[in-house]
Amino acid sequence: MIYASRSLYSLLASVLIIGIIGYSLQFTKANADPLAESLQDTYMVAVDGNRKASEQVLKAVESLLHQYPDDPLLTAYYGSALAIKARDTWIPWYRTDFTQQGIDSLNKALSQLSERSYSTPYYGLNEGFYIQSLAAMTFINMPDYFHQSSRGYALLKDIMSSENFQYYPFAPRAWIHFGAVQAALALNNTADASKWAKEMFQLAPTHPMTVEALRITQHIAH
């Protein structure tokens, strides 16, 4: 079984945080439930295992979805948040339910992708790549009995091999490269892990995620 490392979930959190910031600006009239702290700060606490924070974030995103039910980016964020809630839930059948709901939400988000998604700028990339990446990393880290790991990895490989993806600057896509390296290692695909780490080095040798990618792949025989 593949277990999500804290670093990968933290990486996922950073992506979700960026999106939430964008939506907090865009949906200024939305009646999402207020939080004592900012949504992104609360989410970071949830990533570290705080159940109360997890419930607060989920409730806030759910409120936005009631108002914007057909928004694929919000739907993808919701699916990822549900998966993290499943990770933190002790009761097995609740964990199963939350994970399945997360899968359903992510599937919905992926089905909502359109040409517009890939032409809509979003924090240095576009909405389509963000949604695919959130889904891929969430799928990869689900328990084996949900049979999503291979699917998530295939999504990541598609993104990494996309010519359109390569056109974007390294900085806004660094987290996807690093997530792909981590996923390849988790699935024992060392050739892919090594290849993607080398690509990161060629693109940005001193970037912190490049340095970390090289560190975690240094044991691979070349």
DSSP states along 124-178? TEEHHHHHHHHHHHHHHTS-GGG--HHHHHHHHHHHHH-HHHHTS-HHHHHHHHH
Contact, 187 vs 153, CB < 8 A? yes
Is residue 83 pLDDT above 60, yes or no? yes
Is residue 102 pLDDT above 60, yes or no? yes
3-state secondary structure of 68: coil
pLDDT at residue 21, rounded to an integer:
40
Which residues on neighbouring strands pair with residue 108, listed in sequence order? none
Tell which wins on pLDDT, 38 or 96: 96
The per-residue pLDDT for range 2-57, each reduced to its tens digit, is 334 444 444 444 444 444 444 443 443 344 444 445 555 666 676 567 778 778 87
142-147 contacts: CB < 8 A, separation 24 or more?
142/2, 142/83, 142/99, 142/102, 142/103, 143/1, 143/2, 143/99, 144/1, 144/2, 146/99, 146/100, 146/103
Is residue 136 pLDDT above 90, yes or no? yes
| Mean pLDDT on 79-93 | 86
The per-residue pLDDT for range 152-199, each reduced to its tens digit, is 999 999 999 999 999 999 998 998 999 999 999 999 999 999 999 999
pLDDT at residue 34, rounded to an integer:
45
pTM of the model: 0.79
- Across 104-132, b (16+ Cβ under 10 Å) vs e yields ebbebbbeebeeebbeeebeebbbbbbbb
